[in-house]
Amino acid sequence: MGAAPQDQAPGRGEAPYGRYLAYLQAGQLAYQYSTAAARPVFFPRVRCPYSGRDCLEWRVSQGRGTVYSTSVVYPRKGEPYNVALIDLDEGFRMMSRVVDVDPHAVRIGHKVAFRVAQDPEGGDPVPEFTLLEQA
**Are 70 and 107 contacting, i.e. CB atoms less than 8 angstroms apart?**
yes
Of the two residues 33 and 88, which places its CB atom closer to another protein in the complex?
A: 88
- Minimum Å gap between C-beta 57 and another protein is 19
Of the two residues 2 and 109, which places its CB atom closer to another protein in the complex?
A: 109
In the complex, the residues that contact another protein under the rule CB under 8 A are: 17, 21, 43, 68-75, 80-81, 83, 85, 93-97, 104, 108-109, 119, 123-124, 126
Of the two residues 89 and 124, which places its CB atom closer to another protein in the complex?
A: 124
Using CA atoms, how far apart are residues 100 and 61, in angstroms rounded to an integer?
22
CB crowding 101-122: b at 16 or more within 10 Å, else e: eebeebeeebebebebeeeeee
